[in-house]
Structure 1
Amino acid sequence: MIFEINTIICGDSHDLIGKVADKSIDLIVCDGPYGVTQHDWDKVLSIQEYNLDLIKQFSAKLKDGGALYLFGKPDCIDFIDYRPYLNLRSKIVWYQPSRLAQGRLSYTNNYDIICYFIKGNSPRCFNLDDIRVAQLVELEHRLRCENVPSVTNGRYGKTKFNDKGKNPGDVWGDIKQLTYKSKELVSRNALNTIQKPEKLIERLILASSNEGDLVLDPFAGVSTCPVVCKRHLRNFIAFEINPEFVAAGNERLKALEYGQNVIRLSNGA
């Protein structure tokens, strides 16, 4: 089946993913079940086996060099062999020190994992200049370090100071979770478990796709990924089983087209 691009399709992603044409997708952003809450959509017997099944399916749909970003908790891909299907390049830590939940018998989990996979050995693209962040090291100290021979004339020459900023690395604490007061929040029901900040999804899309590329979002929620794709001239295919969220996503896309503010659901903040 060939899906109409730039459309949010209401249906079960497990039924729909198989109908996506093989080797047609440039980037997949998968923010699906974590296997840690009591929501019906999050109840899975084994999140590791669940994710392995997704990885197998996604591998067939990605173009060579295409990327997958898979969201989860720290153990989301432990004890499974994903290597026959995709190449894990990084485990990005999305650090959230302000989480309200506090562990009483162990240390509080203050981060999520974003697993960055590619199909094959080399990414189709990694647009570093589009995702650089401000230098945190004092400029004077940085310039002093650059005077050492290994930087000026040696193997570390590419580490020199860049006016556009530095690589964000694999620990991201500069993008905060949404709160009830966040202007982009669509629904209280989507807070923390479903809706991610646009800045977070934007970094993934800008890094691993180019204008005109096709992005697959198999668990679209309230369609943050499609909104970011549209803003940055990427094409998308999105699946979402909740018709209320599909309607909210379509309203967000329409609002973006007309330069309006986010549309909140009736139960939104």
Structure 2
Amino acid sequence: MERLIKGKTGPYFENDIGQLYLGDSFQLLKRMVPESVDMIFADPPYFLSNDGVTCRSGHLVSVNKASWDEGMDFQSRHRFNRRWIRLCKRCLSPNGTIWISGTMHNIFSIGMAMEQEGFKIINSITWQKTNPPPNLACRCFTHSTETIIWAKKNEKKAKHTFNYELMKQRNGGHQMKDVWTGSRTRPSEKKVGKHPTQKPEYLMENIVLSSTKRGDLVLDPFCGSGTTGVAAVRFGRRFIGIDNEKEYIETAFKRMSNVQEELEW
């Protein structure tokens, strides 16, 4: 696979359909060949690590994830979002699209930043979790959804890919709606390693299959444990993933390699 991120430092892992880079997304996105990517999925920091608690498998645990998720004031968060979204737009092909996942803590900034940086929103997907963590404080409704914004460049000539018939087929012959319901990530998807905000494979499969064609290039600038790459490899797309944590890059490589081995059998 051609190296589209230029510079002396190459991928941490590489094969014929995928590349994983260990490093700062801002610096690596600057080095990427302009308009070379067909689709981007991003699950940026939610800035939720505020010393609170949540429930996991029946146990009280801290919500803190890592330094990359520590909170900052709104102006700083919004500048952060505008900056990486601007760099992603530079990498995206004229007909490409971008998907960004978030919660109420960051999705409103993201939506505004996308419009400010010249994107047109196509859909706002609501991911409804069938097994959300319980509400421990009992002072508000249980948080059971995340939002995924799908957008394209706000240009008249932009013609994005939408595999309507395929998504209708995946939905039992009915038009697929903008509410996707399912469980959180299954334990079987975390066997070789996990990430605190890891997305389930069925979710990423919907995103990859709906908006790309075989052979297209998919980019994830905050790839974590590599679920975007797993879906891309499984369905014949090329993939570039970036993360600044070695542990997650190694997990992503193992998961993608396992899928490729399954396909070769």
**Which structure: greater strand fraction?**
2
Q: Which stretches of structure 1, 4 residues or more, deviate above 6 A after TM superposition?
A: none
CA 1:188–1:100 in 2, change beyond 3 Å: closer, same or farther? farther
Partner SS, residue 8 of structure 1: strand
Kept after mapping to 2: 8 A contact 1:67/1:123: no
Of residues 116-125 and 66-75 in structure 1, the stretch that sits farther from structure 2 once superposed is 116-125
Match for residue 113 of structure 1 among 143, 147, 161? 147
Which residue of 2 is the match for residue 210 of structure 1?
A: 213
Partner SS, residue 106 of structure 1: coil
Kept after mapping to 1: 8 A contact 2:40/2:220: yes
Residue-by-residue CA offset, 1:102-122 (whole Å, 9 max, x unaligned) = 052222221001011111354
Rounded to whole Å, the distance in 1 between the matches of 2:143 and 2:159 is: 31
Partner AA of 1:221 in structure 2: G
Which residue of 2 is the match for residue 92 of structure 1?
A: 125
Partner AA of 2:199 in structure 1: K
Rounded to whole Å, the distance in 1 between the matches of 2:125 and 2:93 is: 22
Kept after mapping to 2: 8 A contact 1:89/1:116: yes
Rounded to whole Å, the distance in 2 between the matches of 1:128 and 1:258 is: 30
TM-score, structure 1 normalization: 0.76
Rounded to whole Å, the distance in 2 between the matches of 1:213 and 1:189 is: 26
Match for residue 65 of structure 1 among 66, 87, 95? 95
Q: Does 1:178 align with 2:185?
A: yes
Q: Does 1:241 align with 2:249?
A: no
Rounded to whole Å, the distance in 2 between the matches of 1:81 and 1:237 is: 23
Shift of 1:14: 2.0
Pairs within 5 Å for 1:71-86: 71-74=101-104, 76-78=106-108, 80-83=112-115, 84-86=117-119
CA 1:125–1:239 in 2, change beyond 3 Å: closer, same or farther? same
Which residue of 2 is the match for residue 6 of structure 1?
A: 18
Match for residue 167 of structure 1 among 162, 175, 179? 175
Which residue of 1 is the match for residue 58 of structure 2?
A: none
Rounded to whole Å, the distance in 1 between the matches of 2:99 and 2:24 is: 20
CA 1:134–1:210 in 2, change beyond 3 Å: closer, same or farther? closer
User: Percent same amino acid among aligned pairs?
Assistant: 25
Unaligned runs of 5+ in 1: 136-163, 261-269
Match for residue 224 of structure 2 among 221, 225, 242? 221
Rounded to whole Å, the distance in 1 between the matches of 2:191 and 2:82 is: 31
Kept after mapping to 2: 8 A contact 1:211/1:232: yes
CA 1:33–1:257 in 2, change beyond 3 Å: closer, same or farther? same
Rounded to whole Å, the distance in 1 between the matches of 2:141 and 2:102 is: 18
Q: Does 1:15 align with 2:20?
A: no
Partner SS, residue 259 of structure 1: helix
CA 1:223–1:134 in 2, change beyond 3 Å: closer, same or farther? closer
Rounded to whole Å, the distance in 2 between the matches of 1:198 and 1:77 is: 21
Which residue of 1 is the match for residue 204 of structure 2?
A: 201
Partner SS, residue 222 of structure 2: coil
Of residues 96-105 and 21-30 in structure 1, the stretch that sits farther from structure 2 once superposed is 96-105
Shift of 1:78: 2.5
Kept after mapping to 2: 8 A contact 1:55/1:85: no
Rounded to whole Å, the distance in 2 between the matches of 1:238 and 1:130 is: 26
Rounded to whole Å, the distance in 2 between the matches of 1:134 and 1:254 is: 26
CA 1:81–1:231 in 2, change beyond 3 Å: closer, same or farther? closer
Shift of 1:258: 2.0
Residue-by-residue CA offset, 1:4-48 (whole Å, 9 max, x unaligned) = 661111112122111111111110000121122332121242344
Residue-by-residue CA offset, 1:79-122 (whole Å, 9 max, x unaligned) = 63532421112211101142123052222221001011111354
Partner AA of 1:51 in structure 2: N
Residue-by-residue CA offset, 1:148-168 (whole Å, 9 max, x unaligned) = xxxxxxxxxxxxxxxx51222
TM-score, structure 2 normalization: 0.77
Partner AA of 1:111 in structure 2: T
Unaligned runs of 5+ in 2: 6-10, 12-16, 50-63
Kept after mapping to 1: 8 A contact 2:194/2:251: no
CA 1:2–1:100 in 2, change beyond 3 Å: closer, same or farther? closer
